[in-house]
Amino acid sequence: MILLLCATCLKAWFSMGVGFSLAVLAAVTMILLYEIGQILCLYYSNSQMSYVMSGYLLGFSSMISGLTISLADIGYLCISSIISVSVHELGHALAAASEGIQMEYIAVFLASLFPGALVAFNHELLLALSKVSALRIYCAGVWHNAALCAVCAWALFVEPLILSPFYIHDEGPMVLDVSPTSPLSGYLSPGDVIISLDGIRINNLQEWSQMIAILTEHYENSQNHSLPGNSMKTSVGKGYCVPYSLIEESKHISLKGNETSCPDELSPFITIQCLDQAMPDDDNLEVNHQRDGGELHCLYATDILNLEKCGDGWGRIRNNRSSCLCSKDKACFVPLLSTGVAWVEIAYSNPPLQCSQLGTMRVVDDDNSRENPCVKTFVFVGDVNSMKPSVLLTSYQPRWSAKFGAHLPYVLEKFLMFTFNVSLALALLNSLPVYFLDGEAISEVIIHYLRFLSSRRRRTILQYFLLGGTVASILIIFVQVFLVLL
């Protein structure tokens, strides 16, 4: 009785897989036609969307197609490929067992250095089955890969809840590793927690990536802020209220052609004009570059980081009539940078044991954070995009001070993401109407139901369908590889 119930449940399960696989086969066939139309210039559409669709369709993903995969990623890819292929073939085997078909052998092979496998059944027994039963077996692999994708997505969703007794989530990305060639290697080290970029609170990796993208766009759009006849530009409204007493002690330099330089460890600063702020009556203090012909001041960046901010380039908006937001005894100075160089203020925490409590690290967005001994600030001057790939971050922080286990959430998350992508690619790839894949057997069964056609015409239609799908897939792969290498 129990065996009969299990067999009934399995048939119901694999019958659901038939409906899903037929829908996917229809979808990928339409995408093939769409892509061929794009290649043959039959019509125009969003090329970026086309690239993403065909990339997933033919087994590419954003992690692989960018050619930025690391040795660690290759390990994740191999392990996730083994699991995805095993789940795929297990689906075929279970579906065949539910129909009373036993396996003859299992073959394991390597395809372009990646593992593959297949399960062989008695061909005569398969032909003796009804078309619906055979379709359950053929569609089981794609169906199980889709189920594996659902499991991975669910695991990624509940991972913060499962790990919550041991890890803090979304309280700031923690540094796991810093590349020796990273521009941040002299500032950040494993265990540090990123708190903010330019005063904007960063809670997780997604916000870190979004903020870098915003800053990149911000500085790309600021090229028109370059000084006339000079390759330097201001930091787009990111200023500091510098006391005049500090300005008097600073070193003065003047613009010479297209070059502006300061001694080592000093950065060039220039004032921004304040229409509603009175300047001090000091003839010896020339701080407005529009009045004195371009005189600059070389200041230590560490001396001004804790000063009050001014200008409209910061993330925090203050309600004040003045655009400079400085008192009368101060001037609003902004850094002077080379074209393509950004000025980003990064706050992070590398707390001692007594500062590792969650409540201590939460106060970071207000002015009191400057007095918090657990919070440190430095300025990154360079290409913003260079920060992202050179620092390995995780959205999880261990609730204990030991470094053991700090990489576990990252490894688990990476493994689930790779398995999801590989399993999805395998499901879509096997749904293609291509020779030697599951799509061939599924297409053969579907065309068999065209009873209004003769047996010969059905075979002819099947051959043209598979030949067209194979040629189209090879052509799209060629175009994708060409676009990646271009």
**Cα(270)–Cα(253) distance, rounded to whole angstroms?**
11
Residue 324 CA: distances (Å) to CA of 27, 124, 200, 301: 57, 84, 20, 19
Q: What is the dihedral of CA 355, 357, 360, 362, to 10 degrees?
A: 130
d(C-alpha 450, C-alpha 212), whole Å: 55
A 10 A CB-CB count for 261 gives 11
Measured at the CA of 213, the angle between CA 323 and CA 485, to 5 degrees, comes to 145
Q: What are phi and psi of 160, to 5 degrees?
A: -60, -35
Distance CA(343)–CA(338), nearest Å, equals: 10
CB 299 within 8 A of CB 249: no
The answer to whether residues 410 and 402 touch, using CB atoms and an 8 Å cutoff, is: no
Can you read off the two tokens belonging to residue 152? Answer: 């991975």
Q: 10 Å Cβ neighbour count for 145?
A: 25
- If one counts every other C-beta atom within 10 angstroms of the C-beta of residue 31, the result is 20
Q: Count the neighbouring beta carbons within 10 Å of the beta carbon of residue 480.
A: 19
Helix or strand (DSSP H, E) at 245: helix 244-249
Tokens 């692999």 locate to: 141
Point out which residues pair with 453 in neighbouring strands: none
477 half-sphere exposure, CB direction, 13 A CA radius:
10
Residue 454: count other Cβ atoms within 10 Å of its Cβ. 10
Distance separating the N- and C-terminal Cα atoms of the chain: 62
Q: Are 238 and 219 in contact (CB under 8 A)?
A: no
Q: How far apart are CA 323 and CA 277, in angstroms?
A: 9
Closest to 234 measured CA to CA, from 270, 285, 282, 195: 270
The set of catalytic residues is: 89
